[in-house]
Structure 1
Amino acid sequence: MKRLTAFWLSAFYLCTTSLQAQSIIPERDSSAISLFEYATKIPRRNNVFNLNLEMHASFNTFFTGNKLDEAAFRFNHIKLEAAGEVNDRLFYWYRQNLNQGNEGMELENLPESIEYALIGYRLNDKFTVILGKQDAAWGGFEYDLNPFEIYEYSDMNEYMDCYFTGATLAYQLTPSQELRVQVTDNRIGSMEDAYGVLPAGIEKPRAPLFYTLNWNSNYLDEVVNLRYSATAGEQAKGKWMYMAWAGHNVCSGPFDGYLDVMYTRGPLDPLGILTELVPAADEDEEGPVCLRNVQYLSFVAEMNYRFHPKWNVFAKGMYETGSIYKGGNSEDAPPSGKYRTAWGYQAGIEFYPMADENLHIFLTGTGRSYSLTGKAKALGASIENTGKISIGFIYKLPLY
């Protein structure tokens, strides 16, 4: 899924402007032309406005334990995207997920469905400023993919919110080295929206922000690529969470693979995974109290093999742990130690029928297995292994 950054998106649009300005309309076997151009035979002569529809739909068979749970069709993603270049320096990007609600969230006064609502300005060849709703500048390659192309995320990327309002300064040190400094909100709604029932004594911070330093680089003519980041954010008054993410990618010929290592810790459960394992003490309660001092570690690896221009096979593995790094004796502060281990495994095949990669048809199988320690079981936690088989399509349709 490439969760494309606005800087690279704008570069892509600049590179494709010459194609879109051609007067001859080719056969519609790729995204070199939009649906509007193909239908009207009228070529666009600028790159000010581009409109895309992203779709990911499939027939899924879900298993819980060893039993069939449900089999049904599902639209996993349907998104509208508008982006373009106002001039050589100013660009914009808007994307909305139609699968999510439109109620404005308390902190940002935006619905969660809006993923991008930004403008960018290139100060010169080295510096670019990005303002507005954007993706957090975290490392890793699973995170950097476009969400509508992902079949199953790791826990870390599935549970972490990643689109926030803020500001980014990007510095292109060399053609192969980029630094980003970013300040964004660290939640989009209230503290209760982010963490659930709060422990006693928790006060909201005056500046609920993420501060991120991101370094992206490539080597050997983009055969080796790295995406590293470090992030700090104040979850509650005087209580800070920290993240360190590192992504490593090798792309050579038909082979393309990555290994991501992601670590997150916070005085309030930053993902909510361990907290949701604990049953509520009372049926009338909204949920369990958010656990304190929780950390997560994730390893995610994927390998793709393009054995034919129109065919790709891939395999993906995930190993993730959830622990409490500083325990206590109260109900919302259980003893320290590991509580949960998760393994994920996925394999699939993809078929690309058109001249580009905008449309592909897939068949995938995904399994997740879990192990809870005695500490987790003492809290009343339980979880079953799951599986899924999916067949469907992914299509990014250029409308205009």
Structure 2
Amino acid sequence: MKQIILSLGLMLLFTTIVSAQMHKQTDTVSNAYKPLVSADRLKLLEHIDFIANMQYANSTAFENGTYTGSSFAMNQFRLEIKGYVLDSTVFFRFRNRYTRTPTVQSVDKLDSSVDMAFVGFHLSDKLSLAFGKMIADYGGYEFDTNPINIYQYNTIIANADDFLTGAHFAWNAPKNQQFMFQVLNARTKSFSELYDDIPEITEAKFPAAFVGNWRGSFADGLFSTFWSYSYIQETKGKNVQYIALGNQIKLKKTVIQYDFKYMAGQIDRLGVISDLVADDFSSFIAFDTDYIEHWLRVQHSFVPQWNVSLTAMVSDAYWNGNPETISDNHIRTAWGIIPALEYAPFEKLNLKFFIAYVGRKYKYSSDAKANFGLTDSNTGQLLLGFSSPLKFL
């Protein structure tokens, strides 16, 4: 019996010593090695968003009523990181477009695939500044919508330089009004890359875009505005002026958006008319052009998780500086209609499946047909896929 008691006592003593050594070793390890990401650093992630903006679809294409083929494609994939550092004083946003070929641009030294790369500062709860590559905030709700929710853009936005490098100033005025002003580079490529073969124009010393807009909200958000005026000068003595008037009515289940856009250019900055009337666009550019557009979108949520929308758009192009002795400066009218049905099955995840049809029709004036050999045409595209701003953080 004494031997048993002695054995148990020795075992207990041994266990106590080993346990003490293990705890001592564990404490030594925890004190010697720090975690790779500290608790303070982890708190910063609370203010960081990491988003994969995606639009994927199977596309069935038609041209002039004839089926031309089908394919699967990731139409939009833009990886985005944005948020705050240093409390809420300093903010940043970076977004890269993986559906565009990356080419380093000669002016801002960034890949063309980079949509945004800027840092901003909140000077107060009403004033902010930002510097870097950013959205040229041209105004209108078509341009303000996340690209993954746009199945086809109208002419101006589809062909403009929408992301430029410069400075941004914003003022959050009383009564839910915001005013913004930007000074940006007018382009991402150099003058010689774009216009070197065109002898009629010379480079401006400061090719810049000046953009001002107003975001208004009335009646608790029932009616909103996004109006903008832009003045762009790339070459000496020739400028471009752009007006966008966006208006929105937001009801309980229905959202109605209407944009009016007008671009008057002493030089054809979009290049659409130049491309239509010239055999070699690289050595020609049209002067004194006008683009006038209307864009309307109506979206209705008839039951939870289901949305139906209809987008209609029209774009008119005019060449006022046409040297040909023709009676009509109107070149083309482009129509578009996009009905879509969307289903969002997940309550806590912003992912939706959609089916949409993009119908486009292009009609040219009789003078444009006679002088430039243009012919009317139409295209169709049936899309079946999904879209999501998939948020990882």
Q: Give the residue type in structure 1 aligned to 2:377.
A: E
CA separation of 1:286/1:324 partners in 2, compared to 1, >3 Å: closer, same or farther? closer
For 1:380 and 1:190, the matched residues in 2 are separated by 32
Identity of aligned residues (%): 25
Determine the structure 1 residue equivalent to 2:346.
Answer: 354
For 2:308 and 2:247, the matched residues in 1 are separated by 20
Determine the structure 1 residue equivalent to 2:373.
Answer: 380
CA separation of 1:278/1:398 partners in 2, compared to 1, >3 Å: closer, same or farther? same
What do residues 113-163 of structure 1 show as CA deviations (whole Å, max 9, x unaligned)? 001101111101221101111101221001101112211111111111210
Determine the structure 2 residue equivalent to 1:113.
Answer: 113
Contact 2:273 2:319 in 1 (8 A): no
CA separation of 1:357/1:235 partners in 2, compared to 1, >3 Å: closer, same or farther? farther
TM superposition shift of 1:375: 2.7
Residue 232 of structure 2 is aligned to residue 233 of structure 1: yes
Residue 353 of structure 2 is aligned to residue 342 of structure 1: no
Q: Give the residue type in structure 1 aligned to 2:267.
A: L
Contact 1:197 1:287 in 2 (8 A): no
Contact 1:346 1:365 in 2 (8 A): yes
Q: Give the residue type in structure 1 aligned to 2:332.
A: R
TM superposition shift of 1:265: 1.5
Q: Give the residue type in structure 2 aligned to 1:237.
A: K
TM superposition shift of 1:191: 3.5
TM superposition shift of 1:326: 3.3
Q: Give the residue type in structure 1 aligned to 2:190.
A: S
Residue 357 of structure 2 is aligned to residue 365 of structure 1: yes
Determine the structure 2 residue equivalent to 1:397.
Answer: 390
Determine the structure 1 residue equivalent to 2:217.
Answer: 218
Q: How does 1:122-161 map to 2 (within 5 A)?
A: 122-161=122-161
Contact 2:255 2:300 in 1 (8 A): yes
For 1:365 and 1:227, the matched residues in 2 are separated by 27
Q: Give the residue type in structure 2 aligned to 1:161.
A: D
Contact 1:62 1:70 in 2 (8 A): yes
Report SS of the residue matched to 1:348: strand
TM-score by length of structure 1 reads 0.83
TM-score by length of structure 2 reads 0.85
What do residues 263-313 of structure 1 show as CA deviations (whole Å, max 9, x unaligned)? 001122121111221251xxxx56461111111000000000001120000
Which one has the largest radius of gyration?
2
Contact 2:274 2:286 in 1 (8 A): yes
For 1:248 and 1:198, the matched residues in 2 are separated by 41
Any gaps of 5 or more consecutive residues in structure 2? 1-40
Determine the structure 1 residue equivalent to 2:248.
Answer: 249
What do residues 164-221 of structure 1 show as CA deviations (whole Å, max 9, x unaligned)? 0111110111141111111011111123655x67532211111111011111101010
Residue 320 of structure 2 is aligned to residue 321 of structure 1: no
Residue 286 of structure 2 is aligned to residue 291 of structure 1: yes
For 2:297 and 2:349, the matched residues in 1 are separated by 19
Residue 63 of structure 2 is aligned to residue 60 of structure 1: no
CA separation of 1:222/1:286 partners in 2, compared to 1, >3 Å: closer, same or farther? closer
Q: How many residue pairs get matched?
A: 350
CA separation of 1:44/1:340 partners in 2, compared to 1, >3 Å: closer, same or farther? same
Q: How does 1:79-94 map to 2 (within 5 A)?
A: 79-86=78-85, 87-94=87-94
Q: Give the residue type in structure 2 aligned to 1:328.
A: P
TM superposition shift of 1:336: 6.3
Q: Give the residue type in structure 2 aligned to 1:69.
A: T
Determine the structure 1 residue equivalent to 2:272.
Answer: 273
For 1:226 and 1:357, the matched residues in 2 are separated by 29
Residue 162 of structure 2 is aligned to residue 162 of structure 1: yes
Residue 251 of structure 2 is aligned to residue 258 of structure 1: no
Contact 1:365 1:387 in 2 (8 A): yes
CA separation of 1:382/1:290 partners in 2, compared to 1, >3 Å: closer, same or farther? farther
For 1:320 and 1:299, the matched residues in 2 are separated by 7
Q: How does 1:190-205 map to 2 (within 5 A)?
A: 190-191=190-191, 199-205=198-204
User: Greater shift after overlay, 174-183 or 58-67?
Assistant: 174-183
For 1:76 and 1:191, the matched residues in 2 are separated by 30
Q: How does 1:31-42 map to 2 (within 5 A)?
A: none
CA separation of 1:301/1:279 partners in 2, compared to 1, >3 Å: closer, same or farther? same
Report SS of the residue matched to 1:385: strand
Structure 1 segments, 4+ long, off by >6 Å, are none
Note the aligned Cα RMSD (angstroms): 2.0
TM superposition shift of 1:61: 0.6
For 1:347 and 1:157, the matched residues in 2 are separated by 20
Any gaps of 5 or more consecutive residues in structure 1? 1-42
